[in-house]
């Protein structure tokens, strides 16, 4: 079987649940943006894989990527509860934010991205996470999506912001 089928040539695609939808639907826009965010996180992981300060962060970012894959499955098959997010998913992200915030400067000001390439890439991922959250909100107005997934996306941009400001990452040259 080849990689292409031609089935999408008419501007339609099939969701995981078997529903045919326009490639311009809010669900498909959301799926594409979640995929884009996941790719940005993959780049961050690759950039930081060899740094000593990054070992636990590497695994945590990978767990976020797995949650984004679960989110894509949820959006594509909105009725299947095995793809729903729990409050625990949100709480785990909040705990990691709290852990990173302990090392965070007390006075947080507006940040101009570009301290180094890693910090800038994390800031790009943060802005894509914010766009993902906006698209999720738009899709949730028309489709029954898990509210905890929306909360998770909201916390994810906060996590990426505090991650970008970690001294151990800022000082990498």
Domain harbouring 80, CATH code: 1.20.1200.10
Q: 154: exposed, middle or buried (C-beta count within 10 Å: 0-12, 13-18, 19+)?
A: middle
In a domain, 156, yes or no: yes
Q: What is the pLDDT of residue 16?
A: 86
Position 1 in a domain: no
Residue 12 maps to a domain:
no
Sort 128 into a burial class: Cβ within 10 Å, 0-12 / 13-18 / 19+.
buried
In a domain, 163, yes or no: yes
pLDDT at position 3 is 80
pLDDT at 161: 92
Is 17 within a domain?
no
For the chain, list residues with pLDDT below 50: none
pTM of the model: 0.89
**The predicted structure's pLDDT at residue 152:** 98
Give the chain's domain count: 1
Q: Specify the pLDDT at position 122.
A: 94
Q: Give the domain range for residue 152.
A: 26-170
| pLDDT value for 168 | 61
Q: What are the residues facing 22 on neighbouring strands? A: 12
């Amino acid at each position: 079987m080849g990689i292409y089928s031609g089935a999408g040539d008419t501007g339609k695609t099939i969701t995981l649940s078997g529903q045919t939808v326009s490639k311009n639907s809010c669900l498909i826009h959301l799926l594409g943006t979640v995929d884009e965010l996941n790719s940005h996180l993959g780049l961050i992981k690759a950039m930081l894989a060899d740094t000593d300060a990054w070992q636990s962060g590497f695994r945590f970012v990978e767990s976020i990527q797995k949650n984004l894959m679960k989110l894509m499955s949820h959006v594509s098959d909105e009725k299947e509860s095995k793809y729903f997010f729990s409050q625990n998913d949100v709480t785990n992200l909040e705990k990691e934010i709290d852990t990173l915030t302990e090392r965070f400067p007390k006075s947080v000001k507006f940040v101009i991205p570009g301290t180094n390439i890693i910090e800038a890439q994390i800031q790009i991922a943060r802005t894509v996470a914010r766009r993902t959250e906006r698209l999720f909100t738009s899709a949730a107005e028309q489709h029954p999506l898990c509210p905890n997934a929306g909360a998770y996306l909201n916390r994810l941009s906060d996590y990426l912001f505090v991650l970008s400001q970690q001294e151990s990452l800022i000082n990498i040259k």
